Amino acid sequence: MNNKGEAHENAEADGIIEAMPTIPKDNTFFRTEKSKNLYVVWKGIKLEISNNKTVAKLGLDLSDVITVPDEALSLLVHGGFVS
């Protein structure tokens, strides 16, 4: 492979690696910097939590919510709502 092709592949790999730390892992209970909506990650998809009663049903605690960069939200497929 020529150097141009290798450079292109490396740039793509670098982009993926740079994005990885911003993607919440499974069981992450989070909101983004600009939103008050709550989400939990399950099997790589984000599920929006509809209310505080659901938070309790899931055994989650509001004190465990982390804030992630807004870009992280768009990196996950929206799997619907949990109610």
Q: Is residue 8 part of a domain?
A: no
E runs forming strands in 21-76: 29-32, 38-42, 45-49, 66-68
Predicted confidence (pLDDT) at residue 65 exceeds the cutoff of 90? yes
Residue 49 or 26, more confident: 49
Looking at residue 27, what is its pLDDT? 87
| pTM of full prediction above 0.85 | no
Instruction: With a cut of 90, say whether residue 51 has pLDDT above it.
Output: yes
Q: Are strands 38-42 and 29-32 parallel, antiparallel or unpaired?
A: antiparallel
Q: How many domains does the chain have?
A: 1
- Give domain status of residue 47, yes or no: yes
CA–CA distances in Å: residue 73 to residues 16, 34, 37: 16, 11, 11
Domain of residue 70 covers 22-82
Question: Which CATH number does the domain housing residue 66 bear?
Answer: 3.30.2390.20
Written as six digits, the tokens of 54 are 């659901």
- β-partners of residue 49 are 38, 82
